[in-house]
Structure 1
Amino acid sequence: MQAQANERPGAVVLLSGGVDSTTVAYLARASGYAIYALSFDYGQRHRRELDAAAAVARAVEAVEHRVVRIDLAGIGGSSLTGHGEIPTGGVTDGIPSTWVPARNHIFLAVASGYAEVVGARAIYIGVSQVDYSGYPDCRAEFLEAYQRAADLASKQFVEEGRSIPVVAPLLHLSKAGTVRLGLALGVDYGLTWSCYQGGESPCGVCDSCRLRAEAFAAAGAVDPLVGRPR
């Protein structure tokens, strides 16, 4: 594994174990990068997504898979960290209770530091602003502002003028488009996990399950977690 890292440029991939981050991990590998997978144990309701992330990291032959612990549950503000019930009424207008305040901002900050330490050339993140849950930190405006801040905080940028770009290849792609792209890349979506509830099988009613079901159906594909088009 380490030999591969020396032969190929590295990319840090923010890996949650879901459809989007998994597709991005496969895409980064197909683009010739050695993968440094970065996941977070941030106080989410279940560890199922971290198990999925570990499986995906093995599938893409990650050089490293780091799991960083950050207690975002301690600040509250999200049903994903146990503050309120997970909504099951379908995707609605506005920012839902499943948004975790500052999550992508914090995750990207850690990723930038990690990338500089390991000498990575890029940071990949699987956000999309097309059909998503309305999270403000999944938009191009946020990523553009973050990139400027990350450059100003980077030793190598200040001393050498070398930026570590944040790459969001799914930003303008629908989730159905993401599934089609992943299938073309050979993604094993049976390794992934999307449900906010955890458990042995997807609940099928939370926002994440609904978006996943709609994506597989629109892509004309079978979701391997349920074994039939949903």
Structure 2
Amino acid sequence: MAYNSHRALVLFSGGQDSTVCLAHALSRYTHVETVGFDYGQRHAVELECRQTVLDRLREAFPDWARKLGADHMLDLSGFGAISDTALTGQSEIVMLESGLPSTFVPGRNLVFFTYASALAYRRDLRVLVGGMCETDYSGYPDCRHETLEALERALRLGTEFDFAIETPLMWLSKAETWALADRLGGQPLVDLIIEHSHTCYRGDHQTRHDWGYGCGDCPACELRARGYREWHAARDTAGD
């Protein structure tokens, strides 16, 4: 590969998927940094949880801690201000005529990767890692492989820097994502995700389920819960 395959920047929200992606990057690269985005999201509690997850990762996985570099937080509140969605406001989460849930923030991942690439350019981090997936997902068009493949090319052309966008969860179901977490960090990582990550779109970090915290009925919670139970059932069956 032409790019520096030893240094990566993980788009890290503090949610389940980005935590698994961070573990994946730490198991693969010699230096990993993280970036989060404050875009006026309704579930801003994730910004608090992400720091807790980073702290607990360092404590529980010393080998990974030695690879984990700086964490960056970027203020994108201006972007959130122009996004009239259920994820950046208090409107109800419903399905729209387009077939997408009202939590869809147009262009969000395009903006995230563009800002991340500007940061990564300065810090010589040529691998950009994101938790996007088009297997078990809400249908967001900016999560699709085709979209991110085109964006990778645009970033390379626009910077003359050999960026690579890596999406380790792209073809995995949510059950397979739980299984990947188990393979990467065993029960300690699974427990860390359950207890400290945050994925719920409504920002409920008080209601505890077997799969973690959340309202239990927003699209993010439904996907996470179903995947956990499918993975747990398959693991129990394999152990019989």
What TM-score, normalized to structure 2?
A: 0.80
Contact 1:77–1:83 (8 Å) recurs in 2: no
For residue 96 of structure 1, the aligned residue among 90, 98, 101 is 101
Structure 2 distance, partners of 1:27, 1:21, is: 10
Contact 1:52–1:191 (8 Å) recurs in 2: yes
Structure 2 distance, partners of 1:84, 1:96, is: 12
Structure 2 distance, partners of 1:25, 1:33, is: 12
Task: Provide the residue aligned with 1:164 in structure 2.
Answer: 163
**Mapping of residues 35-74 of structure 1, within 5 Å:** 35-58=32-55, 59=57, 61=65, 62-71=68-77, 72-74=79-81
**Mapping of residues 161-200 of structure 1, within 5 Å:** 163-186=162-185, 187=189, 188-189=192-193, 190-199=195-204, 200=206
Task: Provide the residue aligned with 1:79 in structure 2.
Answer: 86
Task: Provide the residue aligned with 2:159 in structure 1.
Answer: 154
Structure 1 distance, partners of 2:26, 2:141, is: 28
Contact 1:131–1:174 (8 Å) recurs in 2: yes
Task: Name the % identity.
Answer: 38
Q: Amino acid of the residue matched to residue 180 of structure 2? A: L
SS of corresponding position for 1:220: helix
Runs of 4+ in 1 over 4 A off after TM superposition: none
How many residues align? The count is 206
SS of corresponding position for 2:232: coil
Structure 2 distance, partners of 1:33, 1:170, is: 20
Q: Amino acid of the residue matched to residue 175 of structure 2? A: A
Give the deviation of 1:32 after TM superposition. 2.6
Give the deviation of 1:34 after TM superposition. 1.7
Q: Amino acid of the residue matched to residue 144 of structure 1? A: E
RMSD of Structure 2 on Structure 1 (CA): 2.0
What TM-score, normalized to structure 1?
A: 0.83
CA deviation string 1:86-137 (max 9, x = no partner): 24x8xx9821110111100000001111111111131100111001000000
